[in-house]
Chains A and B, each alone.
Chain A
Amino acid sequence: MSEMPILQVKNLHTSFFTDAGEVRAVNGISYNLDRGKVLGIVGESGSGKSVSAYSVMQILTDTGRVTEGEILFNGDNILKYDDKQMAAFRGSKISIIFQDPMTSLNPVFTIGNQLREAIRIHTDRNKEEIQARALEMLQLVGVNEPEKRLKQYPHELSGGMRQRVMIAMALACEPDILIADEPTTALDVTIQAQILELMQDLQKKMGMAIIMITHDLGVIADMCDEIIVMYAGKVCERGTADEIFYNPRHEYTKGLIRSIPRLSEKHEKLVPIAGTPVDLLNLPKGCAFASRCDRAMKICLREHPEEIRVNENHIAACWANVLQMYEEEQGGTNA
């Protein structure tokens, strides 16, 4: 055990209390994030990946609430912060960029107004310094003609430009952690690559840790130190990027990997995952993925699998692993 992780999430449960009932979006996930590392969270829509990030930022909507668990930032439980502490914490220690840059910037204020506000909140710089910092940030994220951009309104910028502005805004106060909530999903493919490259570049320069949320395993393959695969608010599998890619131990992960298009293997068909995501209003008793799983066993429908350490760098929650280990062990004793 070296240094303390900058962020520890322990057994986090988040629910939305709607008219139809309690929607259990996150059901007990735990992870650690080390200083300066990149953690990828992968899952399909509704798997709770964004909600887990919003829980960390405490920016859930009115109906959402963390019902259980702890979120430790440098050992401090931020769930115990009051409103004022939380406001000071957001943006300065942890920042976030969102999926859709088209709607994430306020349409009735200029870029400069919004960028300067982000800087002003967390520093006591004077007007000129703030303006200089805003310009510097825009240059850093590669926005051309930054002086002019500061005076423009969001609708006058392209999607890629707006996402760059969002990144500039998020990083303006040099946070320790940057959460990127599907930062490239709403962008063109060519722009996607640019934005990812920019983020990697900035990470090297500024040294913050990144939580990269995406539904696209391919996007984060070579960026992440560690990957968490989520399904129905639970962790399916987590481990180093190599482990997840080359040694997946959960049927859902395998399905995700099979559904990534690859250029190298020309004639291989893409295999979609059959079925639809579960209803978070009534979670099934057993493994949430069982009904879509080709290798589902009777036990999968009855009991939820615990997280099992597969090896040093890899944990998975799948009954198939239990069976496999049992068979290996049996084989070992028989031999």
Chain B
Amino acid sequence: MTESDAKKRKMIVLMLLALVLAVMGWIFLPIKSEKILCTVVLALSCGAVFFSNDTGRYVCKRILLALLTILIIAAITFFAMNAIPGGPFSKEKAPSAAVQAVLEERFHLNEPIGTQFRLYLEGLMQGNFGVSTKTGREIATTIFSSFAISAKLGGYAALCAVILGLILGSIAALNRGKLADRIIIFFTTLFVAVPSFIMATLLLLVFCLQLNWFPIFSTDNPSYVLPVIALMLSPMSYITRLTKTSMLDVLGQDYIRTARAKGVKQWKVIFKHALKNALIPVITYVGPMTAYILTGSMVVESVFTTGGLGTKFVQGISNRDYPMIMGTTIFLATLMVTMTLISDLVYKAVDPRIDFN
């Protein structure tokens, strides 16, 4: 043993902070290449400082893998889009040959595809996602301005899903076979089976249009309640079922018996000894949940017309606005990969049994 575990975990927390800072910088700082490079270098140098031990090596490895994944996604997106027959300008009213040449020159379409990809990546690094073929606006501006709404919506939904899921799951596990358990499991089973756009539509129809309990979403008067409910029900149900299963599993373990035999009070057995163990599988779900919420928000936002990133993406698809689809795909994928990375690292930090080799 070279390092104690407490120290190991402190390092992971530090690393996480650096990572989150880097990602925040990536997303929110005024877009300049130096700043982005700066944050990436910061994250990696943080890793390099701890490279001498297992934890640091593991964290660095995971960050590099995540960067690689993002690169692969960018490549797939770029080449897939380029495989579509006809350039981005050939579909519209055919411009004159001279205009076409100028446009191609400006967007480097006359270069070989490898160079185009390199240029595109360079653009991405500087927060330049290109220009929408439909609106002619900077895609980066559209993404970052509309993402604020989506982030708020998704953040609330994730938070509610986790908190309610943990509570309901614990209640179900502790009342196994009783009425409370049956009711919770009945509804969660039902919610998992309802596609989010149907859920969103039904909520809109009943509570907004029929009962008038909530106003229709508008930028001046944003009402997040219904979209958040529509978005969170499914992940909440999943977390509830996950928590119930893992709680039941944990409650049957020997160390719970030990805690009871020590004279620990029942509620403390559950909230201290059982919950921390039961949390571990839930943490691994955070990554998939982010993906679910981000894709789900496309649907929910379209139904409630929130004007968030989801709405813009769906519009981009129906308009066949390829640069917009590309940019949003890469942006969302980066977000998902980052969240998966964070949940994996937190998982390792919470469970001391994992070794870092």
Assess A/B contact in the complex (Cβ within 8 A).
yes
Q: Which residues of A contact B (CB under 8 A)?
A: 57, 59, 61-62, 83-84, 87-92, 95-96, 98, 100, 103-109, 117-118, 121-122, 151-153, 155-156, 166, 169
Cβ-defined partner of B254 (8 Å) among A92, A104, A155: A104
Chain A residue with minimal CB distance to B265? A87
Please determine whether A91 and B255 come into contact, CB atoms closer than 8 angstroms: no
CA–CA, A117 and B258, complex, Å: 12
- Name 5 A/B residue pairs within 8 A (Cβ), A-sorted: A91-B262, A95-B262, A98-B254, A106-B255, A108-B276
- Tell me if B357 is interfacial: C-beta within 8 Å of chain A: no
Chain B residue with minimal CB distance to A95? B261
CA–CA, A60 and B265, complex, Å: 15
- Tell me if B5 is interfacial: C-beta within 8 Å of chain A: yes
Q: Mark B1-21, 1 if CB is under 8 A from A, else 0.
A: 100111000000000000000
CA–CA, A61 and B277, complex, Å: 19
CA–CA, A63 and B325, complex, Å: 56
- Tell me if B259 is interfacial: C-beta within 8 Å of chain A: yes
CA–CA, A118 and B264, complex, Å: 8
Given contacts A98-B254, A153-B353, contact A106 B264 (CB under 8 A): no
Chain B residue with minimal CB distance to A155? B353
- Tell me if B32 is interfacial: C-beta within 8 Å of chain A: no
Interface size on B, residues (CB 8 A): 27
Closest-CB distance, B275 to chain A (whole angstroms): 10
Count of chain A to chain B residue pairs whose CB atoms are closer than 8 Å in the complex: 80
Closest-CB distance, A276 to chain B (whole angstroms): 26
Q: Which residues on A sit within 8 Å (CB–CB) of B6?
A: 151
Chain B residue with minimal CB distance to A83? B266
Q: Which residues on A sit within 8 Å (CB–CB) of B276?
A: 108-109
- Tell me if B123 is interfacial: C-beta within 8 Å of chain A: no
Closest-CB distance, B336 to chain A (whole angstroms): 28
CA–CA, A105 and B277, complex, Å: 12
Closest-CB distance, A100 to chain B (whole angstroms): 6
Please determine whether B261 and A108 come into contact, CB atoms closer than 8 angstroms: no
Chain A residue with minimal CB distance to B7? A151
- Tell me if B108 is interfacial: C-beta within 8 Å of chain A: no
Please determine whether A91 and B263 come into contact, CB atoms closer than 8 angstroms: yes
Please determine whether B261 and A107 come into contact, CB atoms closer than 8 angstroms: no
Given contacts A91-B263, A96-B261, A98-B258, contact A108 B253 (CB under 8 A): no
Cβ-defined partner of B252 (8 Å) among A61, A151, A169: A61
Given contacts A103-B253, A104-B254, A156-B1, contact A117 B277 (CB under 8 A): no
Given contacts A61-B252, A103-B253, contact A90 B263 (CB under 8 A): yes
Cβ-defined partner of A107 (8 Å) among B4, B257, B277: B277
Chain A residue with minimal CB distance to B269? A87
CA–CA, A154 and B352, complex, Å: 9
- Tell me if B134 is interfacial: C-beta within 8 Å of chain A: no
Closest-CB distance, B58 to chain A (whole angstroms): 17
Closest-CB distance, A6 to chain B (whole angstroms): 18
Supply 20 further A-B pairs (C-beta < 8 A) apart from A57-B261, A107-B351. A59-B260, A62-B176, A87-B263, A87-B264, A88-B263, A90-B260, A90-B261, A98-B257, A100-B254, A103-B254, A104-B258, A106-B259, A107-B255, A107-B277, A107-B352, A108-B277, A108-B350, A117-B262, A156-B5, A166-B258
Given contacts A107-B353, A153-B5, contact A89 B263 (CB under 8 A): yes
Cβ-defined partner of A59 (8 Å) among B261, B265, B352: B261
CA–CA, A151 and B255, complex, Å: 18
Chain B residue with minimal CB distance to A103? B254
Closest-CB distance, B175 to chain A (whole angstroms): 11
Q: Which residues on B sit within 8 Å (CB–CB) of A96?
A: 261
Q: Which residues on A sit within 8 Å (CB–CB) of B254?
A: 98, 100, 103-104
Q: Which residues on B sit within 8 Å (CB–CB) of A95?
A: 261-262
CA–CA, A105 and B256, complex, Å: 8
Q: Which residues on B sit within 8 Å (CB–CB) of A151?
A: 4-6
Chain B residue with minimal CB distance to A89? B263
CA–CA, A89 and B265, complex, Å: 11
Closest-CB distance, B123 to chain A (whole angstroms): 45
Q: Which residues on A sit within 8 Å (CB–CB) of B353?
A: 107, 153, 155
Q: Which residues on B sit within 8 Å (CB–CB) of A89?
A: 263
- Tell me if B273 is interfacial: C-beta within 8 Å of chain A: yes
Q: Which residues on B sit within 8 Å (CB–CB) of A118?
A: 262-263
Q: Mark B195-234, 1 if CB is under 8 A from A, else 0.
A: 0000000000000000000000000000000000000000
Given contacts A107-B255, A107-B277, A151-B4, contact A90 B262 (CB under 8 A): yes
Chain B residue with minimal CB distance to A100? B254
Within 8 A of A (CB), among B146-202: 176
Closest-CB distance, B4 to chain A (whole angstroms): 6
Q: Mark B289-312, 1 if CB is under 8 A from A, else 0.
A: 000000000000000000000000
Q: Which of B6, B265, B352 counts the most A-chain CB atoms under 10 A from its CB?
A: B352
Closest-CB distance, B355 to chain A (whole angstroms): 9
Top-10 shortest CB links A-B? A91-B263, A103-B254, A90-B263, A106-B255, A153-B352, A91-B262, A104-B254, A118-B262, A96-B261, A104-B258
Q: Which residues on B sit within 8 Å (CB–CB) of A121?
A: 262-264
Q: Which residues on A sit within 8 Å (CB–CB) of B280?
A: 108
Please determine whether B351 and A108 come into contact, CB atoms closer than 8 angstroms: yes
CA–CA, A106 and B260, complex, Å: 12
Q: Which residues on B sit within 8 Å (CB–CB) of A84?
A: 265
Please determine whether A155 and B252 come into contact, CB atoms closer than 8 angstroms: no
CA–CA, A92 and B261, complex, Å: 10
CA–CA, A118 and B350, complex, Å: 22
Chain A residue with minimal CB distance to B258? A104
CA–CA, A109 and B272, complex, Å: 10
Chain B residue with minimal CB distance to A166? B258
Please determine whether B266 and A87 come into contact, CB atoms closer than 8 angstroms: yes
Please determine whether B262 and A169 come into contact, CB atoms closer than 8 angstroms: yes
Please determine whether A104 and B255 come into contact, CB atoms closer than 8 angstroms: yes
Given contacts A83-B266, A153-B5, contact A106 B277 (CB under 8 A): yes
Chain B residue with minimal CB distance to A102? B254
Q: Which residues on B sit within 8 Å (CB–CB) of A91?
A: 261-263
